[in-house]
Amino acid sequence: MTTKAERLAALIKELRGACSQRRFSQQLGVSKSCVNFWESGLAWPDTENLEKLAELKGWTLAQLQIYLVKGELPSEEPLDQILKQLQLLPNEALVQVASAAVRTLASRTSSLPTVVVN
């Protein structure tokens, strides 16, 4: 069972992805040490910063708090979750996703039967 501090740390790591703690902290408008302390469980974000984290995740503050305290994920359609995550990706990652989507579509359409119309 994970604690709320462990869930917060995992969430922050997920949200910052390949970003450094310094770059992520700049995006949030906090110091690098804040992000470091949150990830290591030494400090807890204030409400304003929890709201920023919730927004980055595409959640409300209430949804984030429920997740952190109870570990319950908000119910959301998988496609909505994917689309929200796409908005957070850096450009390099978006290129990889687009490339994978094109390859997947190409493989699916090449396996469809050809219809000839007279």
pLDDT for 74: 75
- Please tell me which residue, 49 or 108, carries the higher pLDDT value: 49
pLDDT for 2: 85
- Quote the CA–CA distance of 113 and 83 in Å, as a whole number: 30
pLDDT for 117: 67
Instruction: With cut-offs at 50, 70 and 90, classify the pLDDT of residue 72.
Output: confident
Tally of residues, the chain: 118
Measure the CA angle with vertex 26, ends 21 and 32; round to 5°: 40
pLDDT for 13: 95
Whose structure tokens read 């319950």?
A: 72
Share of the chain above pLDDT 90, in %: 61
Read off the tokens for 13: 């790591």
- Quote the CA–CA distance of 99 and 12 in Å, as a whole number: 27
> Quick check: helix, strand or coil at residue 95?
helix
Provide the whole-model pTM: 0.63
Q: Are 8 and 68 in contact (CB under 8 A)?
A: yes
pLDDT for 86: 85
Q: Are 13 and 56 in contact (CB under 8 A)?
A: no
Identify residue 106 by its one-letter amino acid code: A
Asked if pLDDT for residue 88 goes beyond 90, the answer is: no
- Quote the CA–CA distance of 39 and 43 in Å, as a whole number: 8
